[in-house]
Structure 1
Amino acid sequence: MSFTGKTVIITGSSNGIGRSAALLFAQDGANVTITGRNAERLEETRQLILESGVSESHLNSVVADVTTSDGQDLLVKSTLDKFGKIHILVNNAGATIPDTTGATGTDQTIDVYHKNLKLNLQAVIEMTKKVKPYLMETQGEIVNVSSIAAGPQAQSDVLYYGIAKAALDQYTRSTAIDLIQQGIRVNSVSPGVVHTGFTDALGMPDEASKKFFDYLEAHKECIPSRVVGTPEDIANIILFLADRELSSYIIGETIVADGGSTLVKGSQATDLRTILGL
């Protein structure tokens, strides 16, 4: 069990990718701090981990808002109080925050811009600063969770989310060079379409979400592999990047996991025989 004796903080672990990462880390021997704003969903994560055979002594569950200073401080303090050290920080909390008026693109309000930046970028910056001293002691790891929305393809409907994730990718690269001088590795994973709660955040009912995912899987110009990813697909990459035994020479990189979506060009998405009239 490669993470035995290691302590991990995973933000946004009440659902989706964060929940799957928390389960895998715990099953691999780590002490895990799970956190989210929704107490009911966070309890579901806690129970899932306990039912897998992990001892309560290896689990720290904290209801907190990672976008607030008090929430960040509570995460760090409660982790140190229970486990004594911090070895790994997974900055997973993030979401597309839509405009409640239904506006998209440049019609979205500046308030929506600020909310997207605060959750998807600023919270990562603040958590990194607050955990840095403890990761210096343990020669630890940071894994950020970005998105293929960072580009280079345009994201006109959710441009503020795309801006935030693009900035996060640059933050990953820059902090990686800065912090490796103190022995801390920083890397990132950039998921494509994954079966998580992001469609709920966008206000899609279950039936609409199913149609959305079914359509993407059916069209190779959307996902060439024709498979929507699972939270476990991304969680496995997070664990790989957090394991210095396996990924020690990877510094400041973003691993894209999207079923080939970002590699598709128009010529690849269309049948050549149809273009040529054959």
Structure 2
Amino acid sequence: MARFTDKVAIITGSSNGIGRATAVLLATDGAKVTITGRDAARLEETRQAILKAGISATNVNSVVADVTTAEGQDLLISSTLDKFGKINILINNAGANIPDSQGQTRTKCSIENLTKMFQLNLQSVVEMVQKVRPHLAKTRGEIVNISSIGAGPAAQPASPYYSSAKAALDQYSRCAAIDLISEGIRINVVQPGFVSTGFSTAARGLSADESVKFYDLMGSLPHCIPAGYCGQPDHLASVIAFLVDRKVSEYIVGQTIIADGGSSLVIGCHAPRQ
């Protein structure tokens, strides 16, 4: 029997990258999945990737929604319950290092940018946890929040608002983990480093080809990624799947798993001013 047979998972930010890889992995391992994002075309690409893996369309719930809005959150939850009847797993993957609308960088970014950064990377997670909590309590469910090595402890001067939001997410996750474990709900965190998804290059305005070159360069620099190569979405999906598989990780509660090829141990890649 597949390890996630009879499990239902919501994966936010699953129209690309880590979210897409996680949705495909969980689905191929038996889970029924709700995938979601704001871009309908990219979300359909995720759905097709799941179907091409041999998964029945009846096991996929595709929802175009903005997870930062109450309407989007409610639609994700209600449509999942309507189609699958329960929720076992919540993976809060949606997040972004949002460019400043005025083109400012570093600590000169606007307060508007700060607000948007926290709304997506922290507030939407808090709201989803609050709303899904009663359903996960019924199933003794799992939550994994996707953070970043940008949360620290090393300073990230190029992205102080994003890094601060992720640091807040980490502490919220620890606090919530202790609060919810009495209801049988486990919360853990994954901190990715560089992953070849386009995430780290979107804020820089790089093309697809330039993005590939950027990630290849990072992987070639031992002071950036000691492992010698840039991570792929599948690497992170495997870590997330481990954490939502209670049979193998049930005694892990409120912990942060760093998956970065060793970057956080030698983190000098933020030092050059770009």
**Is the pair's TM-score, using the shorter chain for normalization, greater than 0.5?**
yes
Match of 1:215?
217
Among residues 241, 244, 247, which one is paired with 2:243 in the alignment?
241
Kindly state the Cα deviation for residue 219 of structure 1 after the two structures are TM-superposed: 1.2
SS in 1 for 2:144: strand
Counterpart amino acid of residue 147 in structure 1: S
Residue 102, structure 1, aligned to residue 98, structure 2: no
SS in 2 for 1:136: helix
SS in 2 for 1:62: strand
Is the Cα–Cα contact under 8 Å of residues 96 and 202 in structure 1 kept in the other structure? Answer: no
Among residues 256, 259, 275, which one is paired with 2:258 in the alignment?
256
Q: In structure 2, what is the Cα distance between the partners aligned to 1:249 and 1:116? A: 32
SS in 1 for 2:130: helix
Kindly state the Cα deviation for residue 215 of structure 1 after the two structures are TM-superposed: 2.2
SS in 2 for 1:90: strand
Superposed CA deviations along residues 139-192 of structure 1, whole A, max 9, x for unmatched, are 000001000000011111110000000001001111110000111000011000
Kindly state the Cα deviation for residue 206 of structure 1 after the two structures are TM-superposed: 2.5
Structure 1 runs (4+) deviating above 2 angstroms are none
Structure 1's unaligned 5+ residue stretches are 267-278
Match of 2:65?
64
Match of 1:23?
24
User: TM-score, length-normalised on structure 1?
Assistant: 0.93
Counterpart amino acid of residue 119 in structure 2: K
- Alignment coverage as a number of residue pairs: 266
Matches within 5 A, 1:1-278: 1-198=2-199, 199-264=201-266
Superposed CA deviations along residues 182-230 of structure 1, whole A, max 9, x for unmatched, are 1100001100000013123542222432332232122101111111000
Q: In structure 2, what is the Cα distance between the partners aligned to 1:206 and 1:46? A: 22
Match of 1:272?
none
Kindly state the Cα deviation for residue 265 of structure 1 after the two structures are TM-superposed: 6.7
Is the Cα–Cα contact under 8 Å of residues 97 and 202 in structure 1 kept in the other structure? Answer: no
Q: Rg larger in 1 or in 2? A: 1
Is the Cα–Cα contact under 8 Å of residues 224 and 267 in structure 2 kept in the other structure? Answer: no
Q: In structure 1, what is the Cα distance between the partners aligned to 2:125 and 2:90? A: 10
Q: In structure 2, what is the Cα distance between the partners aligned to 1:33 and 1:151? A: 31
Counterpart amino acid of residue 72 in structure 1: Q
